[in-house]
Amino acid sequence: MSTYTPYLALGITGDQVIDLLADDALRARWDRLPLGFTVPGVERLDPAATSSYSLEATVTATFLAAGSDRARLLAPVGFGRDHPYNVARRSASAGHLAGGRIGLVFTERHSPLPAGEPWLRPGEDPPHRFCDGLGAVRDLEQSWPYDAVLADRAAGVFVDSRRIDRVDADGAYRIAGPLTVPEPATGAGVLAWYSPRGGPTPVPADLSIGPDGQVVVLDREERTLSWTGAPDGLLLNSRPGETLPALLDAAEHLLGAGLRPTPPGPLRPALGVPLAGRTLDPAPAFDLAEATR
């Protein structure tokens, strides 16, 4: 076994989310665990996970963050159900509401709508759509810098609108204009990529989860502290039919066996993920700050 000590993350199903929301004591027990993060609705990412409930992940994560003190969450999302613009708006809103404790996790498996992916151009399924989508989410969330909000009552200026930049994309997804939500005080949200079979990670992703990723998925049956390489974290996913108390028992056992506890706080510093640098070229969406008076 490697001498490097990773942190532990948890994947819970929609059924277990319902249990968390309904049971204060169970939620407090979960919140006390020094986990790197929790993935609510992991069945959207993991083919072996099943659930009776399919919940909107970003709303679910926001409710769980509001009902906890330290828990961090990666909400499963996909461009088959949401255009990157809506994904970015939800990411920024969740960042404000939860103080940077909520990020997003994407995968190729995330189920599209029955009609397919309506946001793509007709007849197109470009192989680079995930890179384009994640890049759009990152650019949109940074299009309105947090420190551009001045709230200067004396001058009558709420925001320095000259610092709000357009995001004009003409790739897999068409986008024109800035986001309608300012960047959270903690910076752009963490964007993770889940690939249970391994393979390349879309370039804009901050964190990769999979066999050769920064976070390795633990074997469901063995659940032993053995892995290859030196991952930053280990993801413990729920077994089919497993109760949430039993899953928390397993998590407590692994943490007691020597996994690294993570401190409270936003996702980025807790996981050691660098703050995403601003990549947008200056392209002011507005001419004068007076336009926002």
pLDDT of residue 103: 96
Q: Which residues of 207-227 are buried (b: 16+ CB within 10 A; e: fewer)?
A: bbbbeebbbbbbeeeeeebeb
Report the predicted TM-score, pTM, of the whole model to 2 decimal places: 0.90
- Does 291 have pLDDT greater than 50? no
CB 91 within 8 A of CB 141: yes
Query: Measuring CA to CA, which residue among 103, 90, 179, 96 is closest to residue 141?
Result: 179
- Does 102 have pLDDT greater than 90? yes
The identity of residue 210, as a single letter, is: G
Distance CA 247, CA 239 (A): 8
DSSP assignment of 179-200 equals -SSPPPTT-SPPEEEE-TT--P
Distance CA 180, CA 185 (A): 15
**Torsions phi, psi of 246, nearest 5?**
-65, -40
Query: Measuring CA to CA, which residue among 226, 249, 227 is closest to residue 238?
Result: 249
In the chain, what are the domains? 7-146+181-279 (3.20.20.30)
Residue 123 burial (10 A CB sphere; 0-12, 13-18, 19+): exposed
Give just the sign of the alpha carbon dihedral 159, 136, 72, 270: negative
Distance CA 38, CA 65 (A): 11
281: which 2 tokens? 């070229």
Q: Residue 2 — very low, low, confident or very high, per pLDDT cuts 50/70/90?
A: very low
Give the whole-number percent of the chain exceeding pLDDT 70.
Answer: 92
- pLDDT, greater one: 47 or 27: 27
Distance CA 136, CA 99 (A): 22
Distance CA 1, CA 18 (A): 36
DSSP assignment of 204-222 equals T-SEEESTTSSEEEPPTTT
Instruction: Give all strands (DSSP E) within the chain, no chain letters.
Output: 7-12, 38-40, 73-76, 102-106, 149-152, 157-159, 169-170, 174-175, 191-194, 207-209, 215-217, 233-237
- pLDDT, greater one: 219 or 140: 140
Instruction: Give me the mean pLDDT over the 85-95 stretch.
Output: 94
**Torsions phi, psi of 161, nearest 5?**
-65, -15
The identity of residue 208, as a single letter, is: S
Q: Residue 110 — very low, low, confident or very high, per pLDDT cuts 50/70/90?
A: low
pLDDT digits (tens, 9 = 90+) for 230-269: 899 999 999 888 999 999 999 999 999 889 999 999 999 9
The identity of residue 281, as a single letter, is: D
Tell me the β-bridge partners of 75: 104
CB 232 within 8 A of CB 262: no
Query: Measuring CA to CA, which residue among 253, 196, 244, 258 is closest to residue 223?
Result: 253
